[in-house]
């Protein structure tokens, strides 16, 4: 099972990296040097929103969906991208969703890392930067790790090791490396003891799919 989950993450990573190198401005986009095309499959209105479908693999089945809100101003219609869904394992169902705000910036990402239909990781963005991430590392349906970022860098991680819904271990980082650890000894949800830690990198970051590439304004590049 662990090996399969590792393959699932790798599958998502490859899909997101490939998508990051594509542009969907036209009906077809090519990945540089790869000869991969993303073909548009049409657009339809669903629940008052426009849904545009794309085929990244050439099997004539949609594996990317773009959802737009349509605003009308001065007699003109303007499309605003509000969500993008990705299907890395090509089973016809979205496993990764990206949500955008009113100015087109990424606000939130959700990922089903093991393709069981449940969300295992949620990332929150503000001003084009990652600020918080929740993860379910044991895949039991409950988030057990929460990370906090400043200027895109990890500064604190809270772990819920006993699965009671409250953190019991706090890890503090400098320049992406663990330097201090706090422990909750009495179960009140607050750290009572602290210890210095060797400056090591955050291993959890290696378990996740890489972030979607963005331009210098924090907008997704695909």
Model-level pTM?
0.73
The per-residue pLDDT for range 24-68, each reduced to its tens digit, is: 333 344 444 445 567 889 999 998 899 999 998 888 899 999 999
The per-residue pLDDT for range 148-202, each reduced to its tens digit, is: 999 989 999 999 998 888 999 999 999 889 999 999 988 888 899 999 976 556 6
Q: Name residue, tokens 């590392």.
A: 137
* DSSP H or E segment with residue 4: helix 2-20
Which of 181, 140, 183 lies closest to 163 in space, CA to CA?
A: 140
Give 88's Cβ-side CA count (13 Å radius): 24
Which two three-digit tokens encode residue 10?
A: 């790798």
């Amino acid at each position: 099972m662990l090996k399969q989950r590792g393959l699932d993450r790798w599958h998502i990573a490859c899909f997101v990296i490939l998508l990051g190198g594509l542009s969907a401005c036209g009906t077809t986009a090519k990945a540089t040097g790869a000869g991969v095309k993303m073909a548009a499959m049409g657009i339809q209105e669903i629940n008052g929103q426009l849904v545009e479908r794309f085929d990244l693999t050439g099997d004539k089945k949609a594996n990317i969906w773009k959802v737009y809100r349509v605003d009308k101003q001065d007699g003109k219609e303007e499309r605003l991208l509000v969500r993008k869904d990705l299907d890395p394992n090509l089973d016809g169902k979205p496993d990764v969703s990206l949500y955008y705000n009113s100015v087109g910036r990424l606000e939130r990402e959700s990922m089903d890392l093991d393709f069981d239909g449940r969300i295992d990781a949620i990332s929150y963005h503000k001003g084009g930067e990652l600020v918080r991430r929740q993860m379910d590392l044991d895949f039991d349906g409950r988030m057990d790790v929460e990370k906090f970022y400043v200027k895109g860098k990890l500064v604190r991680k809270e772990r819920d090791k006993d699965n009671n819904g409250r953190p019991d271990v706090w890890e503090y980082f400098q320049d992406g490396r663990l330097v201090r650890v706090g422990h909750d000894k009495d179960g009140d949800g607050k750290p009572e003891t602290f210890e210095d830690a060797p400056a090591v990198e955050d291993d959890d970051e290696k378990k996740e799919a890489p972030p979607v590439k963005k331009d210098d304004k924090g907008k997704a590049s695909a």
